[in-house]
Structure formats: C-alpha cells, structure tokens
C-alpha cells in the first residue's frame, strides 16, 4: 500500500512539474513578446530579429509581420471554408477584403487578373507575378494602382493550406523583401497544418 501512495505522489509531482514548465514557457513567451517601439515608433513583436510564430493568436501573426517597420498593412485571410479576414492590421486596406476578392485570387482563371487587374479591399491592383499554385513557391506579387496621384505600393501574398497571408510594404519597400516575408509565414503555416 505504501508503494502505491509513493508512486501516486511521484506521478502527481511529475504532472505538476510538467504543468509548471508549460506555465513558465507561457510567461517567458509573454515577457519576450512585449511590445517594443520599432524604428518608426510602431509597436510590434520582433524576437531576436526573426519571426517567432509559436503560441500566438492570428492577430499576433499580423503584429509579427508588421514588427520590423517595412509593412504598412498585413492580414491573415481564410480561403477554404472560412472565407473571411481572420486578422488584419487595424484600419488597413486588407481588413476590407471580401469573399469575392478571395475567390478571384484562388480561382481557376489564372489569366484574367493579368489583363483586367484585381481588387483587394476595394483597392485596384495589378498582378506582377503569379506562383500561388506552384508547389514550393505559393506566392503572388502585386502592385497597387495609383488613384488620384497617390503612390503605389508592393504587395505580396502567400497561400498556405487554409489561409492566405497578405503584406503591403511602405513606400519604397522592394517586393522581394515582402515576398520573402509572406513565404516564410506560409511555409510555417503549411508545416503546422494551416
């Protein structure tokens, strides 16, 4: 009987110890990801200069994409069963993306938007490169069209298994930098089942 109690206590200790480690990991994660002003004063999650996606809500993924100050807008958008914006930068263009716009991006017609363009959040855009359905790439490069003399911006989007990742650069930010950022996020989401 004494041996059973000792074993039960030891197992209980192991469970408590494991739970304590999980709690400690969460607290460390929260401490590491406290908002810090970026170079332009914008807040965000920049962890040791790299994207860190563990234990985050969808909004945290968006915050992580915005953290280095190169983007003015970003969003995570579902394109399968849940065709809507899961998370976006507050007040950004991507917050207004519609299910119809999502259908155009992931639809079978891969030529129509090259000639007629497309819209994202009602903003007119031109497609520069479409590799969204090419294995190992899963990205599309887009540029906004100037309306009323405003500047144009590069956009890159990536396609994971269930979600699209959108990033729009600030004025002068090169599309290649945005493409890499979108691809990194999409690659991670694909590996985790999204």
Distances (CA, A) of 105 to 15, 67, 84: 47, 26, 13
- Compute the distance between CA of residue 130 and CA of residue 143 in angstroms, rounded to an integer: 12
Assigned token pair, 175: 């599309």
What is the residue-wise DSSP string for 49-95?
TB---TT--HHHHHHHHHTTS-EEEEEEEE-SSS-SEEEE-TT-GGG
pLDDT in tens, 50-65: 444 444 589 999 999 9
Phi–psi pair at 4, nearest 5 degrees: -65, -45
Higher per-residue confidence, 163 vs 11? 163
Distances (CA, A) of 64 to 20, 30, 92: 27, 13, 15
pLDDT in tens, 132-187: 999 999 999 999 999 899 999 999 999 999 999 999 999 999 999 999 999 999 99
Instruction: Map out the domains of the chain as residue ranges.
Output: 1-32, 70-191
Higher per-residue confidence, 31 vs 103? 103
Short-list 53, 62, 67, 106, CA closest to 87: 62
- Compute the distance between CA of residue 123 and CA of residue 104 in angstroms, rounded to an integer: 14
Decide if 39 contacts 69 (C-beta within 8 A): yes
pTM of the predicted model, to two decimals?
0.71
Phi–psi pair at 130, nearest 5 degrees: -120, 105
- Measured in whole angstroms, the distance separating CA 128 from the mean position of its chain's CA atoms is 21
| 12: enclosing H helix or E strand | helix 2-32
When pLDDT is cut at 50, 70 and 90, the band that residue 81 belongs to is: confident
- Compute the distance between CA of residue 19 and CA of residue 12 in angstroms, rounded to an integer: 11
pLDDT of residue 92: 96
Name the superfamily (CATH) of residues 70-191: Dynein light chain 2a, cytoplasmic (3.30.450.30)
Decide if 176 contacts 167 (C-beta within 8 A): no
When pLDDT is cut at 50, 70 and 90, the band that residue 19 belongs to is: low
């Amino acid at each position: 009987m004494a041996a059973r109690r000792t074993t039960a206590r030891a197992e209980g200790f192991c469970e408590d110890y494991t739970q304590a480690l999980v709690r400690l990991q969460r607290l460390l994660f929260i401490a590491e990801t406290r908002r810090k002003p970026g170079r332009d004063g914008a807040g965000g999650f920049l962890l040791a200069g790299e994207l860190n996606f563990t234990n985050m809500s969808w909004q945290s993924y968006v915050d992580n994409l915005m953290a280095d100050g190169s983007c003015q807008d970003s969003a995570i958008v579902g394109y399968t069963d849940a065709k809507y914006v899961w998370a976006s930068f507050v007040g950004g263009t991507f917050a207004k993306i519609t299910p119809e716009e999502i259908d155009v991006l992931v639809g079978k017609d891969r030529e129509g938007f090259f000639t007629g363009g497309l819209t994202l959040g009602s903003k007119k855009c031109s497609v520069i490169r479409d590799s969204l359905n090419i294995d190992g790439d899963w990205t599309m490069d887009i540029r906004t069209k100037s309306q009323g003399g405003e500047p144009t911006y590069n956009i890159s989007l990536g396609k994971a298994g269930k979600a699209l990742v959108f990033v729009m650069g600030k004025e002068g930010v090169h599309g290649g930098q945005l493409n890499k950022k979108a691809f990194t996020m999409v690659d991670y989401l694909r590996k985790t089942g999204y």
